[in-house]
Structure 1
Amino acid sequence: MPPSRDPSKPYSRYGPNRDKVRNINKTYLPLENTQDVPSLPEWKAWNDTEREAWDGLWKSPQSTQWPASSVHVVATYVHLTSKVVGGSGNATDAKVCAQLAESLGLTSSGLKALDWEIGFPEDSEMESAEDHGSPSDDELYEMMYT
């Protein structure tokens, strides 16, 4: 039988500091990406709207976390979004767009799933996250065996 919930323990997910402890592994994204925008893949002729969407996506905070290999994934997202918005896409295209948007962190649920947050935390949040850094060996023993 699992141990009962004890919110008084320092690393309990049920205690008053649960949000502060949860933020330890959060990745804080800058407000914008200042790196160079990669060039669009050559597998289709891109229109001006798609080029603007491409530039906007690669200047977004989320793009700082995308690996270089995600160029084709982002291009697919731009292409399918253009089809869906233009009226030539079908339900499958719309579903794939939604899934890609979430996996790229472009939706609020995607940001949450990836544990990303745009902007930097308040100083008080950072201090509390630092206060709850790696536990000592004694604290680990206490958490596991008491």
Structure 2
Amino acid sequence: MRGLFLLTLALMVPGGVQATLPPPPGGPTPAPRLVSFAPPPSVVVCKGGEARVVESAPIHARIWQPWIPPVIGRAAHQIPPPPAPPTADIYTFSIDADGAVIDLSRPMAPTMWPGDEQAAALAKWRFAPGAPIKGCRLDLAPTTVALS
């Protein structure tokens, strides 16, 4: 009985029923970029003067792929451009009498990537021993180039 009902229904609907699906999200996909940082400086500026870097760890480059959420139902010219990469990654810290980094913080964290790797590299830096210094600031200004 059920088979007869389905056959009758199939014959009644001309051409069958097709679902209307939205078109796939269009627009350009931003190309991945390589973000690199300048080599570690030899001197860092602090409130009490300058601190000479004795030993540093490099800040490694990373790949940055901007993500754009899919936009359905808009023309290509209405799709927002990809976000720009961050232009600064600022760290503040103090230096103890042995030259070790203490009180490391990241007051304005860019939203594009976490700073765990940069903070770990900075925590390994050693400065010339002497009187403790407070209010040191380091701006890791990134440069970006196409990955290709």
TM-score range, shorter chain: under 0.3
- From the two aligned structures, give the one with the greater helix fraction: 1
Max Rg structure = 2
- From the two aligned structures, give the one with the greater strand fraction: 2
